[in-house]
Structure 1
């Protein structure tokens, strides 16, 4: 992303890939321009939120005209670095890790899992869906070999901080953490944590709250 995106709120940053996905759909359908209300109807996001998000990046549209679809598509492609692939390491190949191995990021995104690590990999490693899997004690040896910039962490809580420390020391720039524990990383390393139990509880609360209001 360019320098302007440094001041973009995290909530807005998380919506950028969604905007890109839906704008791609509009472009593929042959639509030439789109309004914030049309985006709102398609994405189920308030149109005022969309206009505010877009305003962080300057004048992307024109009042009374809306947004040029091709211009938006090119803007978000460059902003999200869609033309440059990012190599990702998967650390932990349990049930969730296996699901990541089976999902081909590179078909729809600019990220690709190129190597994985798991204690059950065995001596010499193994290959699943064309992705090599090595034991964790080979992390320092293999990570640079595969030019990894980011990592997905799906290990037990007790091992998460140690693995995060090792990944950061090896120059990994970002970690997507699925372990239900708060991790500390050095300045310059981005970490996004997803606690599935918390997300489920939040969803249940929303459902119950909707039921009370009807």
Structure 2
């Protein structure tokens, strides 16, 4: 069923978890098959974009039939390694970090926070929302001990690069960066930055321009 999955565009790669989530919703609702237009309406993504994304993986659907929901769900589960759990470390247990601990990703998919680090925590650790939290002095030891390759960074901006440098030294593969700092790291480390203030300002800009356009 699956075609060649190498060298797919980055924009397509970022949409794959969204496809998986919406397909789960359709499957839970008892939907057996779906068209690109139905998926487009649910996801608010152009149907042509969906068909183009799917074409990177070969013949996922059939002309005149559409897509089999369960087949698609199984395909994207395998593509995204949804059957394999990924352990994550959280660094910085302030307001945002605490919210991550309370939510934890395990409830919704295969990613879960298993350890956290914060300067206010003792070296021997404490339990917050059922997750052990240690002082950052223990970071290298615990991350290597637990074989963690993915880190969520919610520390103050002044500490972000120093923490990143330490993570590079222990070969952490990826950082989800919630600080506004543009982190410097080797090419082999993948960093995705989510700057909440920039996203908010962007939203405000578009809302204001939508209002201006409606008044023309």
Fold shared, TM-score > 0.5 on shorter chain: yes
**Which structure 1 residue ranges, 5 or more long, are not aligned?**
none
Matched with 1:15 is 15
- Classify the secondary structure of the residue corresponding to 1:211: helix
Matched with 2:114 is 114
Alpha-carbon shift at residue 122 of structure 1 (Å): 2.2
Matched with 1:104 is 104
Given that residues 3 and 57 in structure 2 are in contact (C-alpha distance below 8 angstroms), is that contact kept between their aligned partners in structure 1?
no
- Which stretch of structure 1 is more off in the superposition, 57-66 or 82-91? 57-66
Whether 1:157 aligns to 2:151 is: no
- 1:85-134 deviation line (CA, Å, top 9, x unaligned): 01100000000000000012112111110100000002421111111111
Alpha-carbon shift at residue 166 of structure 1 (Å): 1.1
Structure 2 Cα separation of the partners of residues 172 and 49 of structure 1: 33
Structure 2 Cα separation of the partners of residues 74 and 131 of structure 1: 31
Deviating beyond 3 angstroms after TM superposition, the runs of 4 or more aligned structure 1 residues are 2-6
- Name the count of aligned residue pairs: 213
Within 5 A, what are the aligned runs for 1:74-89?
74-89=74-89
Q: 1:141 to 1:196 in 2, by over 3 A?
A: same
Structure 2 Cα separation of the partners of residues 3 and 64 of structure 1: 20
- Which stretch of structure 1 is more off in the superposition, 159-168 or 175-184? 159-168
- Classify the secondary structure of the residue corresponding to 2:120: helix
- Classify the secondary structure of the residue corresponding to 2:100: helix
Matched with 2:169 is 169
Whether 1:35 aligns to 2:35 is: yes
CA RMSD for the aligned pairs? Answer: 1.5
Q: 1:3 to 1:163 in 2, by over 3 A?
A: farther
Alpha-carbon shift at residue 149 of structure 1 (Å): 1.6
Structure 2 Cα separation of the partners of residues 48 and 3 of structure 1: 19
Structure 1 Cα separation of the partners of residues 5 and 92 of structure 2: 32
**Which structure 2 residue ranges, 5 or more long, are not aligned?**
none
Alpha-carbon shift at residue 3 of structure 1 (Å): 10
TM-score of the superposed pair, with normalisation by structure 2: 0.94
